[in-house]
């Protein structure tokens, strides 16, 4: 069984040095039909502000237009974890993963890469292990993803992992791939 990791962030900017509100991730096998272990954490905002992580007014405006439940979850002060501790916990969660997915090649993994760099830590992936859901979702097959719970990092990670699994299943059914 392959152990892949789907990652999703909720942030206050779209820049590589964005301040991260929440980080969600799941283990999954793209060839299977189930989601494995889950990871969800709220990151301390003050730690990141002290490091100069970016807050963009346009992103704040975008958040103001999102579902109230998504706003409440992302902006809650409850259980915020210091940045270094959050990254250490996430790093342990990724142990043994052979591929790292995100929804877009220039967002979640790039932002995490910047955080790791700022903390003088090594990311848990190599460049050849990075995967992008937008590319696979754009090949003309439906990922068949529900739209509930949008902008909750853990729910987005689960939804995207299931979308990858659905595409892989369609490709196998068509005789394409492994």
Q: For position 145, what pLDDT does the model report?
A: 75
What is the per-residue DSSP string for 2-68?
A: --EEEEEEEES-SSTTBPEEEEEEEEE-TTSS-EEEEEEEEEPHHHHHHTT-B--HHHHHHHHTS-H
Parse the chain into domains and list their residue ranges.
4-173
Give the integer Cα–Cα distance in Å for 146 and 67: 15
| Listed ranges 97-111, 145-159, 164-178; the one with the highest mean pLDDT | 97-111
Token pair 């696979």: residue? 136
Q: For position 149, what pLDDT does the model report?
A: 62
Place 10 in a pLDDT band, splitting at 50, 70 and 90.
Answer: very high
| pTM score over 0.75 | yes
Indicate the average pLDDT of the chain.
Answer: 94
Q: For position 175, what pLDDT does the model report?
A: 83
Task: Give 52-72 pLDDT, tens digit per residue.
Answer: 999 999 999 999 999 999 999
Q: CA separation (Å) from 86 to 5, 10, 40, 48, 63? A: 16, 14, 10, 12, 23
Phi-psi region of 120 (alpha: psi -120 to 50; beta: other; left: phi over 0): left
Mean pLDDT confidence for 125-134 = 96
Give the integer Cα–Cα distance in Å for 149 and 94: 24
Give the integer Cα–Cα distance in Å for 23 and 126: 20
- CATH 3.30.420.10 for domain 4-173: yes
């Amino acid at each position: 069984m392959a152990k892949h990791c789907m990652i999703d962030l909720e942030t206050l900017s779209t820049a590589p040095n964005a301040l991260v509100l929440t980080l969600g991730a799941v283990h999954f096998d793209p060839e299977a039909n189930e989601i494995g272990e889950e990871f969800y954490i709220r990151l301390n905002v003050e730690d990141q502000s002290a490091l100069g992580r970016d807050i963009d007014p346009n992103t704040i405006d975008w958040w103001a237009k999102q579902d109230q439940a998504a706003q409440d979850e992302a902006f809650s002060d409850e259980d915020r974890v210091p940045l270094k501790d959050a990254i250490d916990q996430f790093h342990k969660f990724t142990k043994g993963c052979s591929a790292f997915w995100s929804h877009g090649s220039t967002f979640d993994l790039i932002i995490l890469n910047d955080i790791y760099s700022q903390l003088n830590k090594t990311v848990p992936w190599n460049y050849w292990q990075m995967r992008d859901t937008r590319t696979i979702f754009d090949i003309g097959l439906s990922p068949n993803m529900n739209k509930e719970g949008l902008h909750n990092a853990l729910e987005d990670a689960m939804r995207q992992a299931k979308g990858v699994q659905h595409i892989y299943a369609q490709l196998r059914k068509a005789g394409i791939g492994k």
